[in-house]
Amino acid sequence: MAAPILIARTDITAADLRAEAAATGDANAARRLLAVAMVIDGNLRETAATACAMDRQTLCDWVHRFNEEGIDGLFDRPRTGRPPRLNPEQMAELEGWVEAGPDLTKDGVVRWRRVDLRDRIKAKFGIEVHERTVGKLLRKLDFRRLSVRPQHPKSDPEAQEAYKESFEDLVREAVVARLCGKPIDVPLELWIQDEARIGQQGTLTRTWAKRGTRPRAVRDHRFTSAYLFGAVCPARGTGAAIIMPSVNLEAMNEHLAEISRCVGVGAIAILVMDGAGWHTSAKLTVPDNIVLLPLPAYAPELNPVENIWAFLRANYLSHRVFENYQAVVKACADAWNKLMKLPGTITSIASRDWLQVKI
């Protein structure tokens, strides 16, 4: 029969150990604390070990730790593991490289690959790492491989930020000018407008497929197309659209008339749109219940309707072959009508924190 284990410490009682076991959230440490408490109470080694789900030798080892270190000895020691390959300063520098992107002249590439960063780490820090390790370092810095968004080379980020910050003032000025200085005593609705070309040379979109494969999808090579003029009101979850064979002043006037019919009774619509020629022409016929508000130049990323087009293409208009112009028009109409049945989706896609009318 196994004999009791000798407890050398007298400054800690079995009651102290049980109280610590009840307070700790570490299940393993709680079992050790209770086992040692049983030993202090005079139980045999085998009895205490069995009751706390461990073998006798393990219990003996923990008793020795308890004799040397007290209660702290019954908790797992911190595991330092392998030291990181890059120190915090080097990780910060790596983060800066990725944020800034490569220089084609100096780095020889237009986008970072793991192998490129591996070579740069070796050249700069003298540390050799595998490219898989580079991937782990990038994930640790919260980087992921993402699809990029297009940006016009003439876009001005500072002008875009200034536009967003002053949007409410711009709305007020535009409405006051349209009302000839009269007080703004009518409801205001915010609408956003844009056009999209939909045609036989359609788009392809992402799809689910087995890893390592490259799925195929049909794509036409003919050129027949139509233009979908669309505008949405995020607050109301609604919109207005027309389909035209081309983009010009006449088509824009038709779209303005359609938007005017969809504006709430007695309200004025603030229509945000880009600076295309058919949007800014002096010959444009603007209905009385619409006030035009242009976006900054080269700033399609500020127009939420671009995201509406992406939604329509991804869900209704991609991976299709249209036999003729009538088929294109029907597809555009069907897609827009399906969108109009999803007011919550319209609001979710087109809403922006800065794009608000609070006058």
- DSSP letters for 147-202: PPPP--TT--HHHHHHHHHTHHHHHHHHHHHHTTT----S-EEEEEEEEEEEESS-
Q: What is the pLDDT of residue 114?
A: 93
Query: What local confidence, expressed as pLDDT, does residue 3 receive?
Result: 55
pLDDT of res. 352: 95
Distances (CA, A) of 9 to 66, 67, 70, 209, 295: 8, 6, 8, 64, 78
Beta-carbon contacts of residue 69 (< 8 Å; ≥ 6 apart): none
End-to-end CA, the chain: 87
Say if CB 66 and CB 14 are below 8 A apart.
no
The residue behind tokens 């079992």 is 31
Q: What is the CA radius of gyration of the chain?
A: 34
Contact (Cβ atoms closer than 8 angstroms) between residue 164 and residue 354:
yes
Helix axes 325-340, 305-312, angle to 10 degrees: 110
Beta strands in the chain (DSSP E): 188-199, 225-233, 238-244, 268-273, 290-294
Render each residue's pLDDT in the chain as its tens digit; 359 residues.
Answer: 455 567 888 899 999 999 999 999 899 999 999 999 999 998 888 899 999 999 989 999 999 999 999 999 999 988 777 888 899 999 999 999 999 999 988 888 889 999 999 999 999 999 999 999 999 999 999 998 887 777 788 889 999 999 999 999 999 999 988 887 777 788 999 999 999 999 877 676 767 767 777 787 777 777 889 999 999 999 999 999 999 999 999 999 999 999 999 999 999 999 999 999 999 999 999 999 999 999 999 999 999 999 999 999 989 998 888 899 999 999 999 999 999 999 999 999 999 999 987 76
Q: In whole angstroms, what is the distance from residue 45 CA to residue 63 CA?
A: 10
State residue 243's pLDDT score. Answer: 97
Look at the alpha carbons of 272, 278, 283, 285 in this order and tell me if their dihedral is positive or negative: negative
For residue 5, what pLDDT is reported? 64
